Each structure stands twice: as C-alpha cells, then as structure tokens.
Structure 1
Amino acid sequence: MSPIRLSDLAFTLNAVVDDAFGGRPLWVVAETSDIKNYPDRGYCFMTLVEREGRETTAKLEACIWRRHYHTIRDFEQATGVAFARNIQLLLQVVVSFNPVYGLRLEIVKIDPAYTLGNLERERQAVLDTLVAQHPDLIWVEAGQYITSNQLLPRPTVIQRLALITAPNSDGWRDFRHELAQNPLGYDFVVDEYLSQVQGQGAERAICAQLDKILASQTAYDAVVIVRGGGSQLDFGSFDTYELGRAVAGFSIPILAGIGHERNVSITDLLCHQSVKTPTKAAAFLIEHNRQFEERCLYQRERLLNATRTSLQHAREQLDSETERFQFIMHNYFRDRHTDLTEKAVTLRHLDPANVLKRGYAMLLRNGQILTKASDVRPGDALQVQLSDGSVQVISQ
C-alpha cells in the first residue's frame, strides 16, 4: 500500500467534515475546561468535554472568534454567571476542520436558559435534601422555607457583632465604613473572623469560622457574613448543603449581605435576615438600632406628656381644693364670728353690772354673794349692792 501525503489526508478530512456538516450550526451540551480567554483581543480558546462520573468520554477543542465574542458578555449578563471552567453549557457550534489546526468547534451562541435551569435544579435539590434530612432545622410553611435561625429572637439593640468576611475585601471595607460613619453616632463592637468567602472550599472555611464563633462563647448579638463583588459563579459557595445546614441551625441570628443583585442563595433563604450588599447590611443594623431609639424617644415623649398632663390635672385639682378649703374656712370663721358675737351679747346681758341696771340687787356678806335666804342669820351685817352704789343693812 502506497503512503499518502499528510496534506492529502488533511484535505480529505476537511472535505469529509465539510460534506457532513457543511457549516451548519449544531446545538451541543458540553462542559468547559482549559479556558484561555483574551478579552483585549476579542477571542477565547477552550476545551469542551463530556464526563460520566470521573471518566472523560469525549473532548474537543473549541473557540469563540471576535465576531461572536459578545456571546460571553451576553451570557454573563443574562445569567449572572461568569464564563469559566467546569460549567455545563448548551452551545450552538459550527464544526470545522483546518489542515493545520485540526478539528475545532466554533461557538456562535450560548443558551443562558439552560444554565439557569441547571443552577436552579441543583439549588432545589440541595434545599429538598436539607428539608428531608434536617426537619428540626428547616421546614416549609405556605411555600416558604422556615429555619430555627429565622425564629431566633432579634436583640432589641444590636451592638456586639461577629463579622465573617475576606480580609481587606471590598465587602469588608464597605461594611466597616458604613458602620463607622453612621450619622446617628451609634457604636458597634465588631470582632472579625476573616475567611475565604468565594471559590472552591469557601463553604468549609465559612463553616469553620461559625464553629469558632460558637467556641468563643462570646455573647454576640448577631453574626454578619459579607462578600463584596464577584460573579454569580463565585457566589456558588452560598448554595451548598454544608453551609445551608450550618446557617439554618446556627444559635445566633445571622445577617447575610453577600453582594449580589440578581438571585437569592440558599444562605439568603435560610439565614435570620438577608440583604443585598455589605453596605445594606450595615445600614440594616443602623436602622434596627434607630428604630429602638425612636421607640425610646416616643415613650419618653409619652411619659413627658403624661407627666405634664398629670401635673396640670393635680394643679387644677389643688387649686379647686384650695378654693373649696378657703370657702369652707371663710364660712367656718364667719359662723364662729357670728357665734362669738351672739355669745358676747349674751355675756353683756349677763354682766352683773347690766343686771343691776335693770333693777336687780346683790346681797353680800363680807364681800361674798348670798344666794339663799337660809344663809342669812339675824343680826348679820349685810351689803345690798345696787347699780349706783351699796347700802348697809342689818338682817332681822
């Protein structure tokens, strides 16, 4: 058998591929691997693979050229997922063979709905497993997930915080700055538990910090988990079974501000309170404390008003009682004055001098008034007192 030139074989393969596919686009499902992305040049190379378990069953080289490079941006905007390795995608590709570069798939479109559906199915599977395996920590009521962490009483004032975040990250800076610069002047005590919060292994690192918080036996009012920036793919650590279980059953209220605007993670669903960003997490704490202050100010105003009303009522009652007392005392003294006047008149009438003027006389013996005839003996020297003088007499 005579050998053929390599170029002849290559051109034959090119013709076969062109005849079989003819530049027609095909939809294929594959997983990304070994991505080499050049945004400044507008093209991207990668390997597409298919796996069964740990075994790779197919592998082909693929590329995105400049004219279709916008598909990466479109995909990321539609899904919130970073275009990266180890993502299963639904791709529209054109099969081509080049005698120099070999067989290659040119990607012309990426279906975001397929990726979103996969992510949602995986997320739902985790939630279903948590509900099934930990019904004491997480359950469903009226279509809503309820957890023991959500049912923890929220402290009236939140001041002592355990902060889980990446060191010197945007989320760390935003949260601390918002707390420190709050216009109400509230003070917060923040203990930092620095940790990896995204990427492979982040959920284990966060769970380790939660264990450390419990081991400290510090009476924290709340645990705050913040993460700033990053893609939806980096956000995957917060959709894991391990972190979901830890958050749902944690014995201190957990506030999550993990820096996303599009979707709600499992951690968001199961924690005590979820907000969108680290800045909003700090704002939530400030607002919570402000509401307590407002209630205190309201109660103070109520107390002041009640005190003023009570004092005014007491003052009016005192004035009324004073007037009543004055009226009573006025009448009392008037009556007593009348009584005294009457008694004075009576006394004047009973004055012996006045009685004598009315024609009466007093009989005296040795200056002693005699009132009985039996007290007079014959021969006694007596004095008869009249109104204008006295007369000496001898009794018979």
Structure 2
Amino acid sequence: MSPIRLSDLAYTIDAVLEESFGGKAMWVVAETSDIKNYPDRQYCFMTLVEREGNQTVAKLEAAIWRKNYPIIRQFEAATQVAFARNIQLLMLVSVSYHAVYGMRLEVHQIDHAYTLGNLERERQAVLDSLVRDYSQFVWLDQGQYITSNQMLDRPSVCQRIALIGAPNSDGWRDFRQELANNPWGYRFMIDEYATQVQGAGADKAICAQLEQIAAGSVPYDVVVMVRGGGSQLDFGAFDTLRMGVAVASFPYPIVAGIGHDRNVSITDMMCHQSVKTPTKAAAFLLEHNRTFEETCLQLAFRVAESGRTALLEAREEVDQLTDRFRYGTQLYLRNRQVELTEKATTIRHLDPVNILKRGYAMLSQNGKIITRAAQFQPHLPVEAEMVDGVVRLKMNKV
C-alpha cells in the first residue's frame, strides 16, 4: 500500500466530518474540565469529559469563540454559579476540524435550566442526607429545616467572637470596622481564624477551623463566618454535606454573613442566624447587644419608677396615718378633758367646804367624823364644824 501524506489524511478526515456533522448542531451533556478562560480576548478553551464513577469514558476538546462568549456571563447570571471545572452542562455544540489543531467542539449555547435543575437536585440530595443520616442534628418541622445550632441559646451579650474568613478581605475588614465604629462604644474580643472561603477545598478548610474552635478552651459567645469582596458566584464551599453537618452540630451559635444577595446556601439554612453580608453580621450583633442594654435601661427605669411610686404611696399612707393619729389624739384628749372637767365639777360639789357653805355641819367626836346615830358616845362632847367655825355641843340624849 502506498503511503499518503498526513495532510491528505487530515483533509479526508475533514471531509468525512464535514459530510457527517457540517452545518449541524446537537445538544450534548458533558462535564467541564481544564478550563482556560481569556476574558480580555473573549474566548475560552476547555475539555469536556464523561465519567462513569472514577473512570473517564470520553473526552473532547471544546471552545467558546468571541461571537458566543457572552453565553458564559449569561450562564453565571442565570445560575449564580461560576463557570468553572467539574460542572455538568447541557450544551449546543457543533463539530469542527482543523488540519493543524485537530478536532474540536464549538459551544454555541448552554442550557441554564439543566444546570439549575442539577444544582437543585444536588442541593436537595445533601439536605435529604442531612435529615436522614444526621437526624440528631437536623430535622424537618412543617417544611422547615431545624438544627441543633439554631436551638442554642444565644448569650444575652455577645462579646467573645471567633471570626472565620479570608484574612484582609473586604468582608473581613467590613465586619471588624462595623464593630469597632459602633455608636454605643461596645467592645468585643475577636479571635481570628483565617482560611480560604471559596474554591476547591474551601469547605474542608473552614471545617478545620470550626474543629479548632470547638476543641479550644475559649467559651465563645458566637462564631461568625464572613465572605466578601469576591465573586458573588462561588458559593460551592457552603453547599456541601461536610459544611452542613459541621454547622448544624456546632456547639456555639454560628452567624453566617457570606456576602450573597439572592441565593440561600445550605450553611445559611443550618446556622443559628443567617444575614446577607459581613456588615450586616456585625450590625446583627450590635443590635442584639443594644436590645439587651435597652432592656436593662427599661428595667432600671421601671425599678426607679416603682421606687418613686412606692415612696409616694408610702408618704401618702404616712400622711393619712399621721392625720388619723392627730385627729384620734385630739379627740382622745378632748374627751379626757371633758371627763376631767366633769370630775373636777363633781369633786368641787363634793368638797366638804362647799357642802358646809350650803348649810350643812360636820359632826365629830374625839376627832372622828360621825355619820350614823349609832356612832355617838353620850359621855363625849360633840364638835359641829360649820362654814365659819366649830361649835362644841353637849349631847343630852341619843
């Protein structure tokens, strides 16, 4: 057999592919791998693979050229997922062949609904696994996911904080500045646990910091997870089963402020309190402490008001008792005075001098007053005392 030129073989392959696939496009399901994205040049190279378990059963090179490059931005906006490796996609592709660069698939469209459905199925699978396999930490109640972390009592005042986030990121700084510049002068003790919060292995790194916090000797009031200053699209680390279990079962209340506007991650659903941004996480803690202070101030006011009311009522009662005592005393003294006056009058009436003035005489023998006839002794003289003197009488007969 006579050999042929490589270019002739390439042209033959091109002709065969053109005859079979020229001008045709088809929908293909594949997983992304080895992405090389050039936003400034507006094209992207990638490898599309199909796997069965851990084994790759098919692999083809693919490209998104300038004319179709906006589909990447559209995909990210629709799904809130960063266009990256290891994503299962449904794509409209055509087959192209070049004698030098070989065969490549050209991507024209990406079905957002397919990716969203896959993401929702994966997310639901994680939630189902949490309820099924970790029912001591996660359970469903009237369609709501309830976790052990949500049921923890939050301290009346949160001051000891463990902060998990990327060091010196915008979210990290925003959280600390919001706490430091609070108008009430509250002070906080913040221990920093720096870690990556996005990208491959981020969930494992965050969980390692949670384990360190739980194993430490500091009894934190609350643990705060922050993420900010990066893409709004990369939240994969907060949707894994590992993160769900770690957050739901954590022994300290977790506040998540991971900087998203629309999506609610599994971490948000499992934690004690979810807020949108790191700044709002700080505002939540400040408001929590402010609520406690206002409660104390209201109680202090109520105690002071109750004290003033009690004193006023006691003063009124004392005044009433004083008036009653004064009136009772005056009435008592007046009654006694009347009694004394009456007795004095009686005494004056019974005074022997006054009796003698009325014409009576007082008889006595031997210095003893005689009040009865039987008391007279005939042999003794009788003295009759009258108002103006004493008369001696001689008794003839008794």
Global fold match (TM > 0.5): yes
Match of 2:82 in 1: 82
Q: Give the drift of 1:76.
A: 1.0
Aligned counterparts of 1:86 and 1:319: Cα–Cα separation in 2: 87
Distance between the aligned counterparts of 1:205 and 1:95, measured in 2? 41
Q: Residues 244-275 of structure 1, C-alpha deviation per residue, up to 9 Å, x if partnerless?
A: 22222222222222222222222222222222
Deviations 1:219-260 (A, max 9, x none): 222222222243466421222222222222222222222222
- Paired residues for 1:5-154 under 5 Å: 5-154=5-154
1:308, CA displacement in angstroms? 3.4
Determine the structure 1 residue equivalent to 2:252.
252
Residue 218 of structure 2 aligns to a residue whose secondary structure is coil
Higher mean alpha-carbon deviation, 263-272 vs 230-239, is at 230-239
- Aligned residue number for residue 330 of structure 1: 330
**Count of aligned pairs between the two proteins:** 396
* Deviation for aligned residue 1:119: 1.6
What SS class does the counterpart of residue 149 from structure 2 fall into? coil
Q: What do residues 158-204 of structure 1 show as CA deviations (whole Å, max 9, x unaligned)?
A: 22222222222222212211222222222222222222322222222
Amino acid in the other structure paired with 1:317: E
Offset, 1:368 = 6.3
Between the aligned partners of 1:18 and 1:184, the Cα distance in structure 2 is 74
SS in 2 for 1:198: coil
Q: What SS does the corresponding residue of 2:295 show, helix, strand or coil? A: helix
1:274-315 CA-partner distances (Å, limit 9, x unpaired): 222222211111222222223323333333343333333333
Partners of 1:36 and 1:46 within 8 A in 2: yes
Distance in 2, Cα, partners of 1:165 & 1:382: 131
What is the CA distance between 1:338 and its match in structure 2?
A: 1.3
SS where residue 135 of structure 1 aligns? coil
Return 339-348 or 127-136, whichever deviates more: 127-136
Between the two proteins, what is the percent identity of the paired residues? 64
The amino acid of 1:32's aligned partner reads T
SS in 2 for 1:297: helix
The aligned amino acid for 2:202 is: A
* 1:266 maps to amino acid: I
In structure 2, what is the Cα distance between the partners aligned to 1:355 and 1:73? 135
> Which is further off, 209-218 or 316-325?
316-325
Alpha-carbon distance in 1 for matches of 2:250, 2:334? 83
Task: Quote the offset at 1:117 in angstroms.
Answer: 1.6
In 2: Cα distance, 1:379 partner to 1:143 partner = 131
| Structure 1 residue 342: Cα displacement | 0.9
Residue 185 of structure 1 corresponds to which residue in structure 2? 185
- Alpha carbons 1:23, 1:96 under 8 Å: kept: no
Residue 168 of structure 1 is matched in structure 2 by: 168
Deviates further, 65-74 or 376-385: 376-385
The alignment status of 1:208 with 2:208, answered yes or no, reads yes
Q: In 2, are the aligned partners of 1:229 and 1:260 still within 8 Å (CA)? A: no
- Larger mean CA deviation between 19-28 and 81-90 belongs to 19-28
Task: Render the CA deviation track for 1:292-344: whole Å, top value 9, x for unaligned.
Answer: 22332333333334333333333333333333333322322221121111111
- Counterparts of residues 235-250 of structure 1 (less than 5 Å): 235-250=235-250
Structure 1 Cα separation of the partners of residues 183 and 369 of structure 2 = 102
Q: SS in structure 2 opposite 1:149?
A: helix
Q: Is the 8 A contact 1:81 1:231 kept in 2?
A: no
- Are the counterparts in 1 of residues 253 and 271 from structure 2 also a CA contact under 8 Å? yes
Query: What is the TM-score of this pair, normalised by structure 2?
Result: 0.89
Kindly state the Cα deviation for residue 3 of structure 1 after the two structures are TM-superposed: 4.2
Secondary structure (helix, strand or coil) at the match of 1:24 reads coil
Deviation at residue 101 of structure 1 after TM alignment: 3.0
Give the Cα separation in 1 of the matches to 2:323 and 2:125: 83
Which amino acid letter does the alignment assign opposite residue 216 of structure 1? G
Residues 384 and 390 of structure 1 are in contact (CA less than 8 Å); yes or no, is this contact kept in structure 2? yes
Aligned equivalents of 1:34 and 1:208: distance in 2?
Answer: 28
Amino acid at match of 2:340: L
> Structure 1 stretches of 5 or more lacking a match?
none
**Residues 253 and 272, structure 2, Cα contact 8 Å, conserved in 1:** yes
Deviation of the 1:68 alpha carbon: 1.8
Letter of the structure 2 residue corresponding to residue 292 of structure 1 = F
Report the 3-state secondary structure (helix = DSSP H, G, I; strand = E; otherwise coil) of the residue aligned with 1:150: helix
Between 377-386 and 83-92, report the one with greater CA deviation: 377-386
Letter in 1 for 2:317: Q
Q: Where do residues 366-381 of structure 1 align in structure 2 (5 Å cutoff)?
A: 369=369, 371=371
CA deviation after TM superposition for structure 1 residue 369, in Å: 4.9
What is the one-letter code of the residue matched to 2:146? I
> Which residue identity lines up with residue 88 of structure 1 in the other structure?
Q
Aligned match of 1:222:
222
Amino acid in structure 2 at the alignment position of 1:347 = I
Gapped regions of structure 2 (runs ≥ 5): none
Give the equivalent residue in structure 2 for 1:273.
273
- Kept after mapping to 1: 8 A contact 2:76/2:233: no
Give, in angstroms, the shift of residue 133 of structure 1.
Answer: 2.0
Q: Which digits, 9 at most, give the CA deviation of each residue in 1:74-121, with x for residues without a partner?
A: 111111111122222122223222334332222222222222222221
Contact 1:149/1:252 (<8 A) preserved: yes
